[in-house]
Structure formats: C-alpha cells, structure tokens
C-alpha cells in the first residue's frame, strides 16, 4: 500500500495561514483527514481472512500501520453474511454473552466492535467446523499517524484542506485569523463531505443517471 504524508499538503495550505508553523498545519491536516474518513467511509480495506479459535470470542484486527478501524462495511463467516451489532443489541439477543462454556458454544451469528483494535463474535465459536471471517472495513488514521493511504488522501485532499482551514483560521489572536474565511471553509467541508460520501456509496462502477428524450406521439 502506497502512503502519502500529511505534510505533503502543508505547502498548499501555508499561503492561507501565513506564519503558521508547519507542525501546527500538519496537526490540523491529520485531524481533518480523520474526520473525513469517519464521515465518508472512503478508506476501505479488505482484511486478510481470519480463522476463529474455538472458545475465543474476541479478536484483533489486522489493520495497516498508523490506521485503526472505524466501522464494518461487510462481514461474512464461511460465506454467510453477518450483520454487525452494537454491544447493547448483541445482549438483547445473547443475554449471557460472552459465555465460553462448551454447551453455550455454537456457530457465530453476530459480530460487534469492542474498540478500534478489537472485534468480537457471538455465540462463542465451537469446534464443529473451521470458521473463516472475511471483512471489508472502513479505516481512519491514528492520532499519531504522519501518513495514510495515498489513493484515499489524494481523493480527499480538497476536503481535508477545507477541514483544516476551518479550524486554523479561528485560532485566537493569530495574524492569519479570519472568521469569515473560516465560515466559508466550514461550509465547503460540509458540502464536499456529503458529496464524497455519496460518491463512495454510489461507486465508480455504476453509471450516472441519464435522461433520454422521447418523441411526442
């Protein structure tokens, strides 16, 4: 996976915030990239197939370096689609989970995210058959990351720039402070986030809607 640094965007932003130190700009670029990934789900990652262990319900994601999991996009166990649930929803259908006793084990039917590093399945898997999990995940950069997937950052670059500027321009008592411009960038960030989310949901493989003129009868 090719990566691109957040610092690579600093040169485009620097003229809009003259005098702002590069590390500060880079910090806000990273924060905007995280938010853009959360809202658009544009950073999609196919996790390597994982085999469940009988009696074990919690597992660690195999995410790229400097990234963490934000959401499930698709999950299948042995080719069967599994719907993600919150912990609360899971306990509605499995009140005794996680029950690792042999009698309570069965084929997993549900999946939930425990935290950005760990997911869990329910019921606790038995040893009747191997259970293989395939997942497509939505990722976001870590707060300590200096880079992220290049193709995703390239796609979100303008969104990230607006997201960074909306905050940089309202930093108090700075010679680059400009609340009017900050408001403009905030509106552009919101608009472009919605557009990118719609584009991500639509997918590049689908044709755009067209209208064909028909002759009058």
Residue range 131-165, pLDDT digits in tens: 999 999 999 999 999 999 999 999 999 999 999 99
Evaluate if pTM is beyond 0.85.
yes
Mean pLDDT of 67-96: 94
Tell me what percent of the residues of the chain surpass a pLDDT of 70.
93
- pLDDT at 126 (0 to 100): 96
Mean pLDDT of 172-184: 95
Long-range contacts, stretch 98-103, CB < 8 angstroms, 24+ apart: 98/57, 98/58, 98/122, 98/124, 99/123, 99/124, 100/55, 100/56, 100/57, 100/124, 102/55, 102/126
Mean pLDDT of 47-73: 95
Residue range 17-43, pLDDT digits in tens: 999 999 999 999 999 999 999 999 999
- pLDDT at 3 (0 to 100): 96
Mean pLDDT of 78-89: 93
| pLDDT above 80 (res 194) | yes
| pLDDT above 60 (res 214) | no
């Amino acid at each position: 996976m090719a990566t691109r640094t957040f610092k690579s965007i600093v040169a485009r932003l620097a003229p809009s915030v003259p005098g702002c130190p590069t590390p500060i700009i880079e910090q806000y670029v990273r924060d905007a990239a995280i938010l853009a990934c959360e809202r658009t789900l544009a950073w999609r990652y196919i996790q390597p197939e994982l085999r469940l262990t009988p009696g074990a319900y919690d597992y660690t994601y195999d995410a790229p370096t400097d990234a963490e999991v934000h959401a499930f996009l698709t999950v299948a166990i042995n080719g069967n689609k599994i719907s993600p649930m919150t912990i609360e929803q899971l306990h509605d259908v499995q009140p005794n989970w996680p029950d690792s006793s042999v009698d309570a084990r069965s084929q997993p039917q549900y999946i939930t995210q425990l935290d950005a590093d760990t997911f869990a399945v329910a019921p606790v898997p038995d040893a009747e058959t191997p259970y293989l999990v395939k997942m497509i995940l939505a990722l976001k950069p870590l707060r300590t990351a200096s880079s992220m997937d290049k193709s995703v950052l390239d796609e979100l670059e303008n969104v990230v720039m607006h997201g960074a500027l909306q905050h940089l321009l309202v930093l108090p008592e700075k010679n680059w402070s400009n609340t009017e411009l900050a408001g403009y960038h905030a509106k552009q960030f919101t608009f472009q986030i919605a557009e990118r989310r719609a584009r991500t949901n639509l997918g590049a493989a689908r044709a755009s809607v067209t209208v064909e003129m028909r002759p009058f009868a």
